[in-house]
Amino acid sequence: MRDIPTQQITQTVARLCQEANYYLGEDVLEALRRGREAEESPVGRDVLDKIMENARIAAEEGVPLCQDCGTAVVFLEVGQEAHINGGELYDAVAEGVRQGYTQGYLRYSQVRQPFSTRLNTKDNTPPVIHTEIVPGDRLRIIVMPKGGGAENMSRLAMLKPAQGRQGIIDFVVQAVDEAGSNPCPPVIVGVGIGGTAEKALGLAKQALLRPVGKPHDDPEVRELEAELLERVNDLGIGPQGFGGRTTALAVHAGVFPAHIASLPVAVNIQCHSARHKEAVL
């Protein structure tokens, strides 16, 4: 058993909220550079240049990449031999989000009673927390600020198993096509296949955590990702929807076994401001 104090968790979450919002990952920047090289549209190239310029300014000045500093989505991988002491784990995470957003000049985007009063909670809490118990005595924390514009383009379909691989492709391409310019392309398309309805959505979101463009370990899934990327980029939506080749920087899929009656497929779209930072305690 290894002790992990909640105070350390709070400090770490606060730091990750700020780092994720200020510093775009090198994998995303590299994917943007590759997109810039391949882009046929002059306007599209200009947009990609400005997105990279924006990332440079944000990092140099310590300001948010995007005014939408997101819902704080926090993934916790808790080692089963770890012992969290000094308070409640989720309270510690929420306090980290509160400190990170209030002290880091990050925008508060969470509203309470979303169906009626929609009052801003004024500290960006509560976060959305996903917890997994894993072997070991460590705690891995990933903070993913998720912007509303891209998240609003999420889709779920419970396909018939007979629709198979082609059904998946048609649904994913249609989801990206209908999203159009809304989710701030170039996007990263997270796809979840299998499980139950909520499992598929979780797989789609978790797939976005993979380094951009790193293919899936399973060759069959890798091939599906490549075909989806090609089909999505054939749509012509391009950077910001102004027309062009680079609609998506990558398609990442996650797969889980499904019920004999089911073929769930979920799409979770990530804007080009693909922000997530992690730490292991």
Nearer to another protein (CB atom), residue 67 or residue 80 = 67
Nearer to another protein (CB atom), residue 50 or residue 83 = 50
* Tokens describing residue 238: 């391009």
Q: What is the CA 234 to chain-centroid distance, rounded? A: 23
Give least dist CB 273 to another protein, A.
Answer: 4
| Dist. CA 211–CA 34, nearest whole Å | 15
Give least dist CB 46 to another protein, A.
Answer: 8
Give least dist CB 57 to another protein, A.
Answer: 4
Nearer to another protein (CB atom), residue 181 or residue 196 = 181
Give least dist CB 144 to another protein, A.
Answer: 15
Residue-by-residue DSSP string for 152-211: TT-EEEEE-GGGHHHHHHHHHHHHHHHHTTTT-SSEEEEEEEEE-HHHHHHHHHHHTTSP
Give least dist CB 4 to another protein, A.
Answer: 31
Give least dist CB 14 to another protein, A.
Answer: 16
Give least dist CB 18 to another protein, A.
Answer: 12
Dihedral (C-alpha) 75, 58, 51, 56: value to the nearest 10 degrees?
A: -120
Nearer to another protein (CB atom), residue 90 or residue 108 = 108
Dihedral (C-alpha) 86, 90, 96, 99: value to the nearest 10 degrees?
A: -100
Strand partners, 74: 129, 143
Contacts of 73 (CB under 8 A, 6+ apart): 127, 128, 130, 143, 144, 145, 146, 205
Applying CB under 8 A, which residues contact another protein?
40-41, 43, 47, 50-51, 53-54, 57-58, 61-69, 105-109, 118, 120, 122, 147-149, 152, 180-182, 184, 234-238, 240-245, 271-273
Cβ–Cβ < 8 Å for 25, 276: yes
Contacts of 197 (CB under 8 A, 6+ apart): 156, 158, 264, 266
Cβ–Cβ < 8 Å for 17, 103: no
In 3D space, the residue among 99, 68, 38, 1 whose CA is nearest the CA of residue 272 turns out to be 68
3-state secondary structure of 265: strand
